Structure 1
Amino acid sequence: MESISHNPRSGIYPASDDYVHAIEVRGASRMLFIAGTMGLDASGKPGATLAEQLDLIWHNIRTILASAGMTVDNIVRLTSYLRDPAYAEANAAARVAALGGRAVPTTAVVAQTLDSAWLVEIEAIAAA
């Protein structure tokens, strides 16, 4: 599989260092759509802090990817749902760390989660 970042330099606002406007995927034979994943431990208990929940989310995403024979390197799109806009910086830092600095198209939305203890929820698309 080949992925090609597309970041037009004119006619659109510039992308930041941790974001690309689009990724073209060529030669992929499999796509994995990961549902909104929360910062819950194996027993379903949410992490007590935003940092704990972000750690759990990325652990859970890695576990889901591994079940499909994939890694975070296969992620081509992310959407984060934040309960509070103040979580944006920590969420972005966790994403950058989890992806090893690799930029992917991403969107963050501030929304009310189904459970007030869930501070962040992340869904992903991966290709292989």
Structure 2
Amino acid sequence: MTIRNPAGRAAPETYHHGIEVSGPTRTLYIAGQIGTLTDGSIPPGIADQADAVFANMKLVLDEAGMTFADIVKTTVFLTDPADRAGFSAVRARYFASAKPASTLLYVAGLARPEMVVEVEAIAVAAT
């Protein structure tokens, strides 16, 4: 993977503008992960839901033999702009120093009214 942050533009703190992937690789497209727990319940609040989102994403990554370091792109959907800081704090625990290309959108709602966050991702690893 080659990081593509254009010259003359400030490099974002938590993501890269672009990541180029070439060579023999496997690509995993991860559907939007939501904050459901193993019993199917959805905890209240951004921190608990974001933690569940990333725990669920880890299960998909594990199944493919990948890690959060292999994620090259995320799309984040939040229902409340006030939740951004709380989401970012949880995200930082899972991604550590990895900085995938990222898009964050504020939406009017998700599939169920109690959901406040959903994240989809693309991961790439060598074959």
Distance between the aligned counterparts of 2:58 and 2:37, measured in 1? 13
Aligned position for 1:6: 4
Aligned position for 2:79: 83
Preserved contact between residue 68 and residue 98 of structure 2 (Cα < 8 Å): no
SS, match of residue 30 in structure 1: strand
Preserved contact between residue 88 and residue 108 of structure 1 (Cα < 8 Å): no
Aligned position for 2:98: 102
- Please tell me whether residue 47 in structure 1 is matched to residue 6 in structure 2: no
CA RMSD in angstroms comes to 1.3
Distance between the aligned counterparts of 2:65 and 2:99, measured in 1? 21
Aligned residues: 124
Aligned position for 2:111: 114
Structure 1 residue aligned with 2:29, among 30, 33, 38?
Answer: 33
- State the TM-score, normalizing by the size of structure 1: 0.90
- Please tell me whether residue 123 in structure 1 is matched to residue 125 in structure 2: no
Preserved contact between residue 96 and residue 103 of structure 1 (Cα < 8 Å): no
User: How far did residue 15 of structure 1 move?
Assistant: 3.0
Distance between the aligned counterparts of 2:58 and 2:42, measured in 1? 17
Percent identity of the aligned residues? 34
Deviations 1:42-101, CA, capped at 9 Å, x for gaps: 121111221111111111000011111111111000000001111112222222221112
Greater Cα offset, 44-53 or 115-124: 44-53
Preserved contact between residue 28 and residue 127 of structure 1 (Cα < 8 Å): no
> What stretches of structure 1 move > 3 A for 4+ residues in a row?
none
Preserved contact between residue 34 and residue 119 of structure 2 (Cα < 8 Å): yes
- State the TM-score, normalizing by the size of structure 2: 0.91
Aligned position for 1:58: 54
Q: Which residue identity lines up with residue 96 of structure 1 in the other structure?
A: A
Q: Which residue identity lines up with residue 61 of structure 2 in the other structure?
A: L
Distance between the aligned counterparts of 2:80 and 2:118, measured in 1? 12
